Amino acid sequence: MCEFCFKHGAGKKWYLNSRNYLAETAQETGAHEYIFELWKQFEKVYLQKIYGISMKGPGYRFSMPLVGRAMKTYINSWFTKEKPLNGRNPRRGEGHPGQVVMLDDAKKILELASPILRVNCACRNMTRGIKDPCCIAFGALAETVPKLPRYIPDKGAEPMHVDEAQEFIEEMNTAGRIQTVWFGPMPYIAALCSCERPECAAATIRMEYGLNSLYKGEYIAKVDFSKCTGCKICASRCDFGALSFNDGMNVPFINAWQCFGCGLCSTACPENAIEMVDRNENPLLKDVW
């Protein structure tokens, strides 16, 4: 259980608490206005002085001793900002962190959210200029996107059935896409994404600059060497640099500190040799998000 679960999980994982999907919660957090501003200005958020620093080469600033660290702490506090409940600043991504989820949990999320709509991925649109309808928008986001033409898929914004959406994310997972779930703003849950690197902006700022825009998932991958046949299928599945295939021993090694718990290696393994274990059961890693 991460800090979000303690605060917003009602005893469960935060993204499995049905209250966080209610229209009432959207209302309380001003989700419609927040999301409209965020998605409208999506590109600007990355180019302008949004976190108090310029995103044109933030690494130079972060590498400055002391000042760099203070800046990081300051920026990270935006992502987890809880107050005011209604009125956080979308241009700073306040209260808008995401977390990596495994396919099984992602499917459970789809059972809780409604309506469900496929919309164009904002990151890919911004960085590659492509319209890829792979972001699954819920409630307030689903109701907001029709006002922003660049995110409406060519085929139109059609609501999806739960099983259709579950099938879709399964295809995405097979294709190597990482499932992530997003507050927008906390505790309201706005979207389930199917991301990949380097297009995903949140993953870039997490992986390259260590900013907590995207939290690690609730699980960690673990290889059962007795089941592994050394087929190497898992070798190309990890986008987080956690899995390396050891040719000498003919098995994959997983660096648990680096594992984001996306489960992509596990879903690809034909022998079921990679198990996803609860992060909380590992005393060293239970506070590493």
Q: Is 141 in the site for ligand SF4 (CB under 6 A)?
A: no
Instruction: Please give the angle made by the CA atoms of 85, 89 and 93, to the nearest 5 degrees.
Output: 100
Q: 106 or 195: whose CB is closer to another protein?
A: 195
Q: Is 37 in the site for ligand SF4 (CB under 6 A)?
A: no
Taking CB under 6 A as the binding criterion, the range among 33-41, 81-89, 148-156, 264-272 that sits at the site for ligand SF4 is 264-272
Q: Which residues pair with 195 in a beta bridge?
A: 178
In eight-state DSSP terms, residue 177 is P
Q: 46 or 85: whose CB is closer to ligand SF4?
A: 46
In eight-state DSSP terms, residue 272 is -
Q: Minimal distance in Å, beta carbon 83 to ligand SF4?
A: 24
Q: Is 240 in the site for ligand SF4 (CB under 6 A)?
A: yes
Q: 58 or 95: whose CB is closer to another protein?
A: 58
Q: 6 or 225: whose CB is closer to ligand SF4?
A: 225
Whole-angstrom distance, CA of residue 222 vs CA of residue 19: 32
| Tally of residues, the chain | 289
Of 279, 124, 240, 122, whose CA–CA distance to 191 is shortest? 122
Place of tokens 């949140």: 202
| Residues in region 160-199 near ligand SF4 by CB under 6 A | 180, 193-195, 199
Q: Is 138 helix (H, G, I), strand (E, B) or coil?
A: strand
Which option in ligand SF4, another protein, none does residue 127 bind, with CB closer than 5 to 8 A by kind?
another protein
Q: Is 89 in the site for another protein (CB under 8 A)?
A: no
For residues 190 to 219, the per-residue mask of contacts with another protein, x marking binding by CB under 8 A and - elsewhere, is: --------xx----x---x-----------
Which option in another protein, ligand SF4, none does residue 230 bind, with CB closer than 5 to 8 A by kind?
ligand SF4
Q: 44 or 227: whose CB is closer to another protein?
A: 44
Q: Is 55 in the site for another protein (CB under 8 A)?
A: yes
Q: Would you say 86 and 30 are in contact if contact means Cβ atoms under 8 Å apart?
A: yes
B/e letters for 23-55, b = 16+ CB within 10 Å, e = fewer, are: eebbeebbbbebbbebbbebeebbeeebbebee
Q: Would you say 90 and 38 are in contact if contact means Cβ atoms under 8 Å apart?
A: yes
Whole-angstrom distance, CA of residue 123 vs CA of residue 251: 34
Angle between the N-to-C axes of helices 162-174 and 103-112, in degrees from 0 to 180, rounded to the nearest 10: 160
Place of tokens 């274990």: 277
Q: 54 or 77: whose CB is closer to another protein?
A: 54
**7, 12, 23, 47: residue in contact with another protein (rule CB under 8 A):** 47
Q: Is 41 in the site for another protein (CB under 8 A)?
A: yes
**122, 142, 190, 211: residue in contact with ligand SF4 (rule CB under 6 A):** 122
Q: 40 or 286: whose CB is closer to another protein?
A: 40
Whole-angstrom distance, CA of residue 111 vs CA of residue 105: 10
Residues of this chain that bind another protein (CB under 8 A): 40-41, 43-44, 46-47, 55-60, 126-130, 148-150, 198-199, 204, 208
